[in-house]
Amino acid sequence: MLIAAAAVLGVVAGTATGYAVQAERPPTPLPMLAQPGLAYPAKPLAPGKEPEPLSAKEDSRVKTDGDLRKLLLSRPAGARENLAPWADNGWLSVDEYAREFEFPDSMFEDLVSGDFRRAAAVSWMEGEYRETDIALVQFRAGPELGAVEHGDGQLSYMSGDEIGAGNDGDAIKGSTNGRYYLYKVDRKAGYLPQYRARAIAYRGDVVLDINIFDTEPISKKTIRTLAERQLERL
């Protein structure tokens, strides 16, 4: 017992001595923090020396923060304006856009939760029955990443047969995510055959959604060219 007590006292005494020695030493300065050259000037730049703001070509937000309708493709020569009842002077409300889908109530909830901001649309007719619809759907910038979620959500079901095109589609040139599709022809007794093509892509906070409907076959080149031209404007 005495030996054990002595051992404990020895440990305590040694610890106290260590603290005393440390207290008598001069403080050791900390090493300097690594601090490379500052990324901003030490003094304000002289008037006229400020860098030029990014152009619309360099910063897509410059374009998409303006009138979204101006980014829509123009109606091709010879095409007739299609006064779509779902568009008001080129604008689509969130509920009007949601009504274009198989499950509008669910789509409405997804758009709202994704911070839907606005949508612009244009539609035209060519020949007897060909209809082309283009929608640009914009989401607010923020943690929700609405454009990514909406774009990926649409792409996710397109390979299915039930409400999709039934194939994997083809990549849109100039996009890391966009694809275009040709649907299987829909034939019903007593009706003309229904052909459809669709393109989906997103860039920044904008999703492009293009649909072509006709009673005659639609070529891949037609939907691909349209998608590439529209994407270039974003």
pTM: 0.73
* pLDDT single digits (tens) 107-129: 999 999 999 999 999 999 999 99
- The predicted pLDDT at position 63 comes to 59
Helix (H) or strand (E) holding 213: strand 206-214
Element (H, E) at 196: strand 195-203
Residue 171 neighbours by CB distance under 10 Å = 14
Tell me if 120 sits within 8 A of 91, measured CB to CB.
Answer: yes
User: What ranges do the domains of the chain cover?
Assistant: 60-232
Say how far apart CA 95 and CA 228 lie, in whole Å.
28
**CA–CA distance, 220 with 211 (Å, rounded to integer):** 12
Which CATH code for domain 60-232? 3.40.1000
What are the pLDDT digits (tens) for 25-63? 566 666 665 555 555 556 666 666 556 555 545 445 555
In this predicted structure, what is the pLDDT of residue 92?
93
Mean pLDDT by 10 residues, the chain (234 residues): 42 43 57 57 63 52 78 96 78 93 95 96 96 97 90 97 96 98 97 98 98 98 98 97
Give the H or E element holding residue 61.
Answer: helix 60-64
Q: How far apart are CA 93 and CA 96, in angstroms?
A: 5
